[in-house]
Amino acid sequence: QKEVEQDPGPLSVPEGAIVSLNCTYSNSAFQYFMWYRQYSRKGPELLMYTYSSGNKEDGRFTAQVDKSSKYISLFIRDSQPSDSATYLCAIARNRDDKIIFGKGTRLHILP
């Protein structure tokens, strides 16, 4: 079983819709959860991070962690065509540990 699983998509939604992106992970030792966004022909950039369980909101983006089910989510409200990118979830055991990335979900927001 891989340490983190992510559906590669692609996921196509109309502009303005709420987008839900998800990952599952296998080991309860992971405590740091991140979402990176990768535009075409660019490197990933950190979008949001969460420590342990709970929600974190930043503008139109909400990151959610459910440690009991080992499930992490990213919600995008009022989606825009500029949100079209690949979204990679990433996990780490502690701050100094290496980051383990998911495969990424390709998201297309249709104008």
Partner 1 sequence: DAMVIQNPRYQVTQFGKPVTLSCSQTLNHNVMYWYQQKSSQAPKLLFHYYDKDFNNEADTPDNFQSRRPNTSFCFLDIRSPGLGDAAMYLCATSSLRNRGWVNEQFFGPGTRLTVL
Residues engaged in binding partner 1 (CB under 8 A): 4, 6, 8, 32, 34, 41-46, 49, 51, 88, 92, 95-104
CB of 69 to partner 1, least distance (A): 21
Q: Are 91 and 4 in contact (CB under 8 A)?
A: yes
CB of 3 to partner 1, least distance (A): 10
CB of 101 to partner 1, least distance (A): 4
Measured from the CB atom, the residue of 43 and 59 that comes closer to partner 1 is: 43
Measured from the CB atom, the residue of 17 and 67 that comes closer to partner 1 is: 67
Measured from the CB atom, the residue of 11 and 92 that comes closer to partner 1 is: 92
Q: How far apart are CA 81 and CA 16, in angstroms?
A: 9
